[in-house]
Amino acid sequence: GESVGLHLPTLSVQEGDNSIINCAYSNSASDYFIWYKQESGKGPQFIIDIRSNMDKRQGQRVTVLLNKTVKHLSLQIAATQPGDSAVYFCAENMAVQGAQKLVFGQGTRLTINP
């Protein structure tokens, strides 16, 4: 079946550096993508989303890039802070047997080193 996956399960960066978390997806018909941040003991928290008619979207310290040609999604976090340490999930909205569903990737753990 089609799925959303991540290239790196863990990522360590120095505080203040920029980080990039990558995500590969295989369903070319997916039209909407979301990045979630999940801290320990908490639920996934919405960070940023992007529709398939866009290739870039910026938020506060975060940027999402969408490359439909190679089915690749990335989350860039600028000037990382200790509070950015979490697991990051990408998710794609896709039609599965006629129903719209959010399918999550496997997650990347981001660790910020002081």
Partner 1 sequence: DAMVIQNPRYQVTQFGKPVTLSCSQTLNHNVMYWYQQKSSQAPKLLFHYYDKDFNNEADTPDNFQSRRPNTSFCFLDIRSPGLGDAAMYLCATSLRLGGGQPQHFGDGTRLSIL
Q: Which parts of this chain interact with partner 1 (CB under 8 A)?
A: 31-32, 34, 36, 41-46, 49, 51, 89, 93, 99-102, 104-107
Nearer to partner 1 by Cβ, of 79 and 102: the residue is 102
Nearer to partner 1 by Cβ, of 40 and 69: the residue is 40
CB of 61 to partner 1, least distance (A): 19
- State the sign of the Cα–Cα–Cα–Cα dihedral 86, 87, 92, 93: negative
Nearer to partner 1 by Cβ, of 41 and 83: the residue is 41
